[in-house]
Structure 1
């Protein structure tokens, strides 16, 4: 029986970016792991243009994550004129990947999730843009599957569909029902219920310790 995990996160959450690297190391030790991503909607449907104070506050968070995780950051990502920090499109891209790959190993969706994070934080790409998201997601999907099975135009069509938008909204509502207030969160799914392995950023070794304790 495979080990099943729930990963509650948002691709545009900086601590999730730091944590995903640790999670990847943890999962590497568990070849049969199934990882179901539930999208958090950190700043979903935000309509406000980012002002200087917000930018300064967010960049300070990024700097902390950079120091703790050692991961690359391109701090110019927030410098785009009239940038609106809406995390719904990035979350929806992961949901779209989940819909399109339902017959494939769940780790493929984590590959898409990570690719969007890397594009935003390390490459300063605008992952509120559906065209950018489709390009990033398709590249990750094809690289994972070592094929050309996915194409940008089809993915973008699915991404902008009513189904993807509704499914993404359901993810956000589920998080609210569970009362989850912060991301990332990693849960182990067992017959007797859900076991929290991490609430917030954690190192791979901490995840291993929590996992063995839960077993």
Structure 2
């Protein structure tokens, strides 16, 4: 059995779930955790953030319910409403980092979310992944090269297909996958204790 975490790096509720994910992973060191990018803002949904009028209100609610931090640098980044959240680029970055350290995928996914929501860094910028890699003690040049490599695009799109095959329609979703058996552990938000209870019942 393994955990499968389907999220989008540009999803505020996924950012809110980061603390729970880190806690669940630390409690179950023997369980492999697969991280899948869901592709929230792709195609026609790749538009300036001002077109999503609910962002600030939703973020306030996420912070209140989960304790997640939304940094001043992030607020400045989105202040004029022109910033475009591109989940294709974010999925590329997650795939590039995951390639370097697959066993640390959950930790790196939450670090990518912190880079955007706390540090106000664009997830379309290779320099963001250089910084995340350096902080994580990974080969930053190799991560940037992977981010820019044509083959990584295939890995990102394979993630989107995987999310669809798992039947995931919203983010974040945490699943227990055992062969063909898929058990939902969390959708949207949950505490580590709630996830543990569902895991034990599984």
So what's the TM-score if we normalise by structure 2?
A: 0.88
Query: 4+ residue stretches of structure 1 with deviation over 4 A?
Result: none
Q: Which stretch shifts more, 59-68 or 22-31? A: 22-31
Aligned position for 1:63: 60
Following superposition, the deviation at residue 85 of structure 1 comes to: 1.4
**CA offsets 1:183-205 (integer angstroms, 9 cap, x no match):** 11111122451111112211111
Instruction: State the match for 1:167 in structure 2.
Output: 155
Over 3 Å counting, the alpha-carbon distance change for 1:187 and 1:82 in structure 2 is same
Q: State how 1:43-192 maps to structure 2 within 5 Å.
A: 43-45=41-43, 46-51=45-50, 53-54=51-52, 56-74=53-71, 75-79=75-79, 82-102=82-102, 106=103, 108-136=104-132, 138-142=133-137, 149-151=138-140, 153-191=141-179
Q: Summarize the Cα distance change of 1:68–1:77 in structure 2 as closer, same or farther, 3 Å threshold.
A: farther
The CA deviation at 1:87 is 1.8
Q: Structure 1: any 5+ residue segments left out of the alignment?
A: 143-148
Whether 2:34 is the aligned partner of 1:33: answer no
Q: Distance in 1 between matches of 2:80 and 2:120?
A: 10
Give yes or no for contact 1:90–1:133 (8 Å, CA) kept in 2.
Answer: no
**Structure-1 separation of matches of 2:185 and 2:48:** 36
Tell me the equivalent position of 1:15: 13
RMSD over aligned CA atoms reads: 1.9
**Offset from partner CA, 1:123-162 (integer Å, 9 cap, x none):** 22222222223322x12431xxxxxx502x3321210111
The C-alpha deviation readout for 1:98-141, integer Å capped at 9, x for no partner, is: 22335xxx2x12121111111111122222222223322x1243
Match of 2:184 among 188, 196, 200: 196
Deviations 1:20-65 (Å, cap 9, x if unpaired)?
A: 21121122221212100111011134542333x52x4111111110
Secondary structure in 2 matching 1:111? helix
